Amino acid sequence: MSALNIKKGSSSHSAYDLRSALSEVEESHTLAVIVENEPGVLARVIGLFSGRGYNIDSLTVAEVDHTGHRSRITIVTRGTPAVIDQIEAQLSRMVPVHAVHDLTVEGPSVQRELALVKVRGKGEHRIEALRLAEIFRANVVDSTLESFVFEMTGTPEKIDAFVELMRPLGLVEIARTGVAALARGV
């Protein structure tokens, strides 16, 4: 995206018309894939990525419509514009796939990830960890005399930043959900 000087999510029109399909620059895209909630559908989607050599940076999946049997898979992937187009086309033609949305080009979107971060420390380190958690609006969900588990949601970048700050303060373990994303507005 940066190579073409288009601000991410700045246009509500299809950005495919703006960028060169032949560009060799890799871009990160967030795809929302609405699928039939049936056995094997996730394996099918993941198999497409591994079988055709596409990247998965993050993947989340859960049922979002129980009566309609729909699940939403959110995939963050990387590739040249041609590869991203291929990924969308390949996903779209799968029988159990109902819709594919490229949230990166379809307009502004909200992207959030949840992380649980365990930090061990005493004294100054412990106080500093708590202070930083407050700045990042992370909640303490477990506490012992020498450890905390923080819960925070935010963009992946914000979680990265928080994790980096916790590292010297006694970071023990991290669990991240991967990105969930929705288009802004209706």
Partner 1 sequence: MSKQMTGAKMVVQALKDQGVEVVFGYPGGAVLPIYDELFLQNDIRHILVRHEQGAVHMAEGYARSTGKPGVALVTSGPGATNAVTGLTDALMDSIPIVVLTGQVPTFMIGTDGFQEADTVGITRPCTKMNWLVKDTAKLSETIHQAFHVATHGRPGPVLIDIPKDVQFATAEYTPAEKAKVSHYQPRTEGDPAQIARLVELMEQAERPILYTGGGVINSGPRASQLLRELATETGFPVTSTLMGLGAYPASGKNWIGMLGMHGLYEANLAMHGCDLMINIGARFDDRITGRVKDFSPRSKKAHIDIDPSSINKVIHVDVPIVGDVTKVLEELLRQWRARGSRTDQRGLAKWWKQIDEWRAVKCLSYKPSSTTIKPQYALERLEALTKGMDRYICTEVGQHQMWAAQFLGFEEPNRWMTSGGLGTMGYGLPASIGVQIAHPDALVINVAGEASWLMNMQEMGTAMQFRAPVKQFILNNERLGMVRQWQELLHGERYSSSWSESLPDFVKLAEAFGCKGIKCDDPKDLDDAIMEMIRHDGPVIFDCLVEKHENCFPMIPSGKPHNEMLLSADAEAFRSGAVLV
The contact set with partner 1 (CB under 8 A) reads 21-22, 36, 39-40, 43-44, 47, 51, 82, 85-86, 89-90, 92-93, 95-96, 98
DSSP string, 98-141: EEEEETTTSS-EEEEEEEEEEEE--HHHHHHHHHHHHHTTPEEE
Supply the minimum distance, in Å, between the C-beta of residue 1 and partner 1: 19
Cα(70)–Cα(34) distance, integer angstroms: 7
Supply the minimum distance, in Å, between the C-beta of residue 151 and partner 1: 35
121, 158 in Cβ contact below 8 A?
no
Supply the minimum distance, in Å, between the C-beta of residue 120 and partner 1: 40
93, 85 in Cβ contact below 8 A?
no
Residue with the two structure tokens 């703006």: 18
Cα(88)–Cα(130) distance, integer angstroms: 43
Supply the minimum distance, in Å, between the C-beta of residue 84 and partner 1: 11
Supply the minimum distance, in Å, between the C-beta of residue 16 and partner 1: 11
**Among residues 16 and 175, whose Cβ is nearest to partner 1?**
16
**Among residues 13 and 184, whose Cβ is nearest to partner 1?**
13
**Among residues 88 and 113, whose Cβ is nearest to partner 1?**
88
Q: Residue 63: what residue type?
A: E
Residue with the two structure tokens 């507005």: 185
**Among residues 97 and 138, whose Cβ is nearest to partner 1?**
97
Cα(9)–Cα(97) distance, integer angstroms: 24
**Among residues 48 and 116, whose Cβ is nearest to partner 1?**
48
Q: What is the CA radius of gyration of the chain?
A: 19
Query: Across the chain, how many H-helices and E-strands are there?
Result: 4, 8
